[in-house]
Structure formats: C-alpha cells, structure tokens
Copies of this chain bind each other. A is one copy, B any other.
C-alpha cells in the first residue's frame, strides 16, 4: 500500500467535472456502502482510504487494484460530497450497449432531461428495487457518473444500466407501448398497463418535451385525492416515477 500523492488527490478532485470523467473514462464512488456494492460488479482502478478502513475491510485489501492510504482530512478534501468519508474508489466508466428489443421484452424507464443528481440517483435506486434493469436517458439528462448521483443510488448504480441515447430516435424505432404522465392522461389506477414497454418521465420544471410527447402512445395521470382536487400542481419526478413503476409491478403479480 502506498501513501496518497498530490497527483492522485488532483485526479480524484478533477473527476467531479463531467468533462474530465468523459476524457479519462473514470468515475468516483465514496463511502463503504457505495464502494462495496460497486466493487462487487466493477473492479476498481484504485482505492483511497484511511489505514483504519483498510484494516476493517480485509476483502477490499485483496482486490487487485492500486491502494493508497490517506488521512481522513485528505479524503475530506478530495470528496465531492458534504458527508465525511473513509474510502474513495475510482472505477472505469463501463461501456453498455442497448438493444432496442429490450423495450419489447422488459419494462424500461426513459428520462427526458432530468436535471437533479439526487432525482436521478433516487430513480436508479427505485428501478433496482422494482427490477427495472435499463434506464434510457436523453443527452440533456444529468450525467449518471456524477458523484452525487452515485451517492444517492446507494449502490444500485452497480445493477441498473443507464444508456444515454437519442430518445426521439429510440422511441420512434420501437413498436413497444410508450407511457408518459400528462394532465389529460387516463388514471394510472384504471388504465390498462402492459408488462413491457417504456415509461417516459420528464424534466423537473418543464415535463416531457414536445418532440418526445408526440411519441407517447399511452397518456396516463397519477390522480390527486380526492380525484380532481387542486393543491399541489405537480409531483417530484422521482416520486412520480416511484408511484408509476410500483403500479406497473403491482399489476404484474
């Protein structure tokens, strides 16, 4: 095990920027739970942790990667998050292929310009819970390898694949049903729901863009209670995704 160097510190810090992550093909995970879950699927390039952490995590010490010991204060300075951490892992960004047929054989979630890292992370985590293995994301969607996204997936990033695609192209090419939530949609609780297909969720403030909305074949609505009451104007996008995916899965039982 080596002492962490200034160039390693700089490298990790630089990976908080999307541009640098893309150039180097690397991303960062922080904390025992995230690093541990991701390391089960992807081999880390390097682990940087306190001597105590390496002592308590003997498995990690056997992983075939570069290991650096750092002071707690060094880790805090390298961290992109507000919570203190004892371990930082650097991983290669995986290269996933997306097979268009998946939309016809599985339930897929598509995100049209979701901007908030916490929302994307929460959506990945709930997709993992509900067995949704593939998320399509428009190019304008926040970068999934952002440390805040990684953190809020609580390890689920290791099991759910996010594919950045041209959503209009993909949705035009599939024969699968495309669901989207709209104020004029049919009640989610009453609408017929298929076991496979695409559920599109839109931007936090602006919803689904016009180009994508045109390709939605089944408009649905999460009804307020009592039905038709007007208080809240909208639901948070992760909340709406959770309710929608849960209802699809309930019907499948």
Contact = CB atoms under 8 A, between A and B. Distances in A.
Contact of A246 (B226, B236, B246): B246
B118 A232 contact: no
Interface stretch (A4-12, A18-26, A123-131, A134-142): A123-131
A210 interface: no
Interface stretch (A62-70, A84-92, A164-172, A237-245): A237-245
A246 B243 contact: yes
Contact of A227 (B155, B156, B243, B253): B253
B118 A235 contact: no
A128 B231 CA distance: 6
Given A131-B226, A189-B250, A236 B156 contact: no
A126 B235 contact: yes
Q: What secondary structure prevails in chain A residues at the interface with B?
A: loop
A135 to B, nearest CB: 14
Contact of A156 (B154, B232, B250): B232
Interface residues of A, number: 37
A151 to B, nearest CB: 12
A73 interface: no
30 contacts: A118-B118, A122-B238, A125-B232, A125-B236, A126-B232, A126-B239, A128-B231, A129-B222, A129-B224, A129-B225, A129-B232, A129-B235, A130-B224, A131-B229, A131-B231, A152-B236, A154-B232, A154-B233, A155-B232, A155-B233, A159-B231, A189-B253, A222-B246, A223-B249, A227-B253, A235-B242, A238-B238, A242-B242, A243-B243, A247-B250
